[in-house]
Amino acid sequence: MIARKVALPPGMMIRTAKGLWTTLWQRMMAQLAPADPTGHYQRPTSQFRDWIQPESPHPPAPHRYSLIVGMGCPWAHRTLLTRALKGLEEVISLIPVVPSPDQGCWAFTTSFRGCHTLPELYRQAQPGYSGRATVPVLWDRQTASPVNNESADIILMLNQAFNGLATQPQLDLYPEPLQADIDAWNDRIYATVNNGVYRCGFAQTQAAYDQACAELFDTLAAMEAVLTTQPYLCGEAITLADVRLFPTLFRFDAVYYGLFKCNLRRIQDYPALSRYLRAIYRLPRVAATCDLAAVKRDYYGNLFPLNPGGIIPAGPDLPFLRDDPGELG
């Protein structure tokens, strides 16, 4: 007698698959994006917070320091922007890493100090280290140690501590008269835009998502109003507030709009923000820090809980990469 194959009823299949996937998704998200009890994403703090300064273990010097960066990472991008704007390309070298989808970490494109992944280097520098191995990292080649892995600190050091070695020393991205204004924007941008898009994409409850999304688009609207009357957030010149905002805007329409559910409006739908984005992109040496292919590959190809199939979309078309300023209005 031949046994008949019995198919599961569609309803049972759906409920079983949904239950299994939800359990796995929650476990993966707990590692990728830890949340508080209400489902709000909580970004872990950086662990290495030393400073470049004279008469310290890490004094400013040419060819001594490197930036470990992933081209898809917005936090690393702000350090690349500052390095480019200040003209520090010949002073501070780059060590590239790429996300490893199977290992779930950053991996070196070429072995560095005998390490193949960034977690290995972190543990080599600090035996027993069990925290997250993130980019960017400002690395001291002479002491073979990380100086700092907090991007907000690194861009300040690139602007100030390395100014004597820069080819653009006249460009001060954190001028004293504007520091209060810059700091106020930085606080709001970090909470609602830089980290805000992640709070949308990594939210684990509807209420957490709704709150993050509302705050994100409130801030975009506020910046649109400001940029209607002036070229940069703090006036007539680019500052660290703009450096911290640009990487998120650059990725917004291509990644955050769809993958992170930030889809109330595109940056292209804001005339002033669009002009602002293009203006910064067209500044000398900035475009070289922008790798849209890497951004899409890293996000869509490696954030498995958000895109299990790993399919990378063909679009969108981004006018600021090609259009004349007038065409963006």
Query: pLDDT tens digits, residue range 299-323?
Result: 999 888 889 889 999 999 888 777 5
Burial string for 52-71 (b: 16+ CB within 10 Å, else e) reads beeeeebebeeebbbbbbbb
Answer yes or no: do 75 and 142 share one domain. yes
Residue 112 inside a domain? The answer is yes
Answer yes or no: do 102 and 207 share one domain. no
| pLDDT score of 327 more than 60 | no
**Cα–Cα distance between 104 and 89 in angstroms, integer?**
30
Over residues 188-207, mean pLDDT = 96
Q: In this structure, are residues 256 and 316 in contact, taking their beta carbons and an 8 Å threshold? A: no
Whether 129 is a known active-site residue: answer: no
Domain count, the chain: 2
* pLDDT bucket at 48, cuts 50 / 70 / 90: confident
Among the candidates 140, 165, 190, a domain finishes at 165
Answer yes or no: do 195 and 151 share one domain. no
Percent of the chain with pLDDT over 70: 86
Catalytic residue (choose from 41, 65, 73, 232): 73
Query: pLDDT tens digits, residue range 150-159?
Result: 999 999 999 9
Catalytic residue (choose from 41, 65, 122, 198): 198
Q: Tell me which DSSP letter residue 2 carries.
A: P
Asked whether the whole model's pTM tops 0.85, one would answer yes
Over residues 261-285, mean pLDDT = 97
Query: pLDDT tens digits, residue range 79-117?
Result: 999 999 999 999 999 999 999 978 889 999 999 999 999
Q: Tell me which DSSP letter residue 325 carries.
A: G
Burial string for 281-313 (b: 16+ CB within 10 Å, else e) reads beeeebeebbbeebbbbbbbebbbbbbeeeeee
| pLDDT score of 42 more than 60 | yes
Answer yes or no: do 151 and 184 share one domain. no
Whether 73 is a known active-site residue: answer: yes
Residue 75 inside a domain? The answer is yes
Residue 127 inside a domain? The answer is yes
Show the domain range for 159.
65-165
End-to-end CA separation in angstroms for the chain: 75
Answer yes or no: do 210 and 149 share one domain. no
Answer yes or no: do 185 and 296 share one domain. yes
| pLDDT score of 23 more than 90 | no
